[in-house]
Amino acid sequence: MDAVQPGTIDAERVFDLENQLPNHRTVFTATYRPTASLSGLFRFSRYSGWKDSSFGEQAEFGSEVFLDIEMTYDVSETLQLSAGARNITNNKADEETNSVLRFLGATAPISAPFNVNGGSWYLRAQYTF
Interval 100-117: pLDDT, tens: 999 999 999 888 888 888
97 neighbors 54 (Cβ within 8 angstroms)? no
Considering the chain, what percentage of its residues have pLDDT values greater than 90? 67
66 strand-pairing partners: 45
The predicted pLDDT at position 85 comes to 97
The whole-model pTM stands at 0.79
CA distance 15 to 27: 26
Mean local confidence (pLDDT), 53-80: 94
Among residues 25, 91, 22, 18, the alpha carbon closest in space to that of 50 is found at 22
CA distance 4 to 10: 9
Beta strands, E only, 55-112:
57-61, 64-74, 79-86
